[in-house]
Amino acid sequence: MCGRFAVTLPPDAMAQLFQAVPGNDLPDVPNYNICPTNRVHVVVSDDSRRLTAMRWGFLPHWYKAENDGPLLINARAETIAEKPAFRAAVRERRCLIPVTGFYEWTKDAEGNRLPWYIHAAEGAPLAFAGIWQMWGHDDPVATCAIVTTAANQPMSAIHHRMPVILSPGDWPLWLGEAGHGAAPLMRAAPDELLAWHRVDRAVNSNRASGAELIAPNGEGAGGHL
């Protein structure tokens, strides 16, 4: 799964990277502790690509309120085409979610949650595969979820799931610009793509902020997934 992530790339740099027109009301960056229900940057494509903001937490059309059911921040690649909440979106409303890195947790012998920061080994931004949907009638809200898949072998040492990470060559197909047949893109990233390090437990709080959240804390620092 993916439950927290960081974005440090400025909106104009994001827009240039994805060749997208930026919206006027994008979330503030940098943000080193993006949590579920926060507004996040999302790239969508209709006649052209747009960089826009959406609520992280997909809301099915039958929810009468934002808390009317489970918080759907992730969608499993293995079942996304079958789940009533997601099946129309994965066919018709796919998006890219730019991130700088994301967090996962392991536990020590005493059961304490130990956070890890996971990022591209070469330092480049990552593009998560996402789906989106408008929710509500009077004041519609754009909502999204991150597509996840079984972890690759190195990542499985930290968590058994990981986000679907798309390379630039796959972006047009995922966004629907290059025809149909995006299902094969919902796979684990290459083993060599990611690196990781332990970070301070301060990030365990969803109220924590600041660049120090992604700084190595010296425990288990370094390595490649």
Residue 222 lies in a domain: no
**Which pLDDT band, with edges at 50, 70 and 90, does 138 fall under?**
confident
Report pLDDT for 225. 43
Residue 65 lies in a domain: yes
Q: Tell me: the pLDDT tens digits for 139-153? A: 999 999 999 999 999
Quote the pTM value.
Answer: 0.95
Which of 78, 82, 95, 104 is an active site residue? 104
Report pLDDT for 129. 98
Range of the domain at 95: 5-214
Q: Tell me: the pLDDT tens digits for 28-68? A: 999 999 999 999 999 999 989 999 999 999 999 999 999 99
Of the candidates 174, 172, 173, which has an alpha carbon nearest to the alpha carbon of residue 163?
A: 174
Residue 223 lies in a domain: no
Domain with residue 203: its CATH number is 3.90.1680.10
Residue 155 lies in a domain: yes
Which of 2, 82, 144, 192 is an active site residue? 2
Is 144 annotated in the active site?
no
Is 2 annotated in the active site?
yes
Report pLDDT for 224. 47
Residue 127 lies in a domain: yes
Residue 16 lies in a domain: yes
Report pLDDT for 219. 61
Residue 220 lies in a domain: no
Beta bridge partners of 145: 131
Structure tokens at 50: 């747009």
Average pLDDT, the chain: 95
Residue 196 lies in a domain: yes
Dump the DSSP string for 115-126.
Answer: EEEEEETT---E
Q: How many domains does the chain have?
A: 1
pLDDT for residue 85 is more than 60:
yes
